[in-house]
Amino acid sequence: MIEFNLVYISLFVIYILLFTTLTIFGNMIYRFFNQKKLSYFNIFPYEILENPNHKLSLPYRIILAIYCGFGIAPLILIFTSFSSWGNLIYLVVIIAILIFISALCYLGLAFLPAKFIRQHTLLASLYFIFNILISALLGLLGFLLYFSFNTSIAHLIFACLSVILAVISLIFIFNPKLKNWAKLSKETNEKGEVSIVRPKYFPLAYTEWLFYLISALNVIIAFLTFLAI
């Protein structure tokens, strides 16, 4: 059991490092390509790789692929401790599978330009829905562990955090501005010339980044929940 916990803790630390590295490296690459900071309010994740042939793009893609592929780690670990989950194994497996599918959705969003409006919107919608389900199911799992199996108070805390994430997610996906997310703004310069520009706050862009954070928090809560068993 101790060896299993050490493996689990190691994978948890690796996941945190991957998330941190991917986020920081993405900011660095975007600034290098565009000579300005990455704005999470109106820049999409795929725009980090606008120059795919640059030498920095390959290591970023590798880190991105490892990060997204790492979503299968909880699923593998669950099956290594199958007997200890009892009837909850079905719920846990569903959560692990959803985490992996969510990671694949983000991988797709990291490469699919928004000019493909229908495809990008569909993929983003699936990404949002999967993460809401993950948060809700993690909350359910935590409550079941605490109230039905009399486990640690930590599970009740994790359950409450997951419910909060689910509520925040629902608030953002019901944002009326998401319906017309592709709408651009008009700006008039000193000469009276009108140009079409992206608004300072682009609904779909900042929602994708929000769910990028929520998805990471979901995985962190999942790791902590499983580790506290």
Its domain, for residue 44, covers 2-227
- Phi, psi for residue 186 in degrees, rounded to 5: -110, 135
Please report, to the nearest 10 degrees, the dihedral formed by the alpha carbons of residues 156, 162, 168, 169 taken in order. Answer: -160
Higher pLDDT, 190 or 44: 44
Q: Which residues share a beta bridge with 194?
A: 188
Predicted TM-score (pTM) of this structure: 0.89
Number of domains forming the structure of the chain: 1
Q: How far is CA 206 from the centre of its chain?
A: 12
Alpha-carbon distance of 41 to 102, in angstroms, equals: 21
Average pLDDT over residues 153-178: 94
Average pLDDT over residues 207-223: 94
Q: Residue 4: its pLDDT value, please?
A: 54
Contacts with 214 (C-beta within 8 Å, 6 or more apart), sequence order: 131, 135, 165, 168, 169
Q: Residue 1: its pLDDT value, please?
A: 47
Q: Is 188 helix (H, G, I), strand (E, B) or coil?
A: strand
For the cut 70, the answer to whether the pLDDT of residue 147 exceeds it is: yes
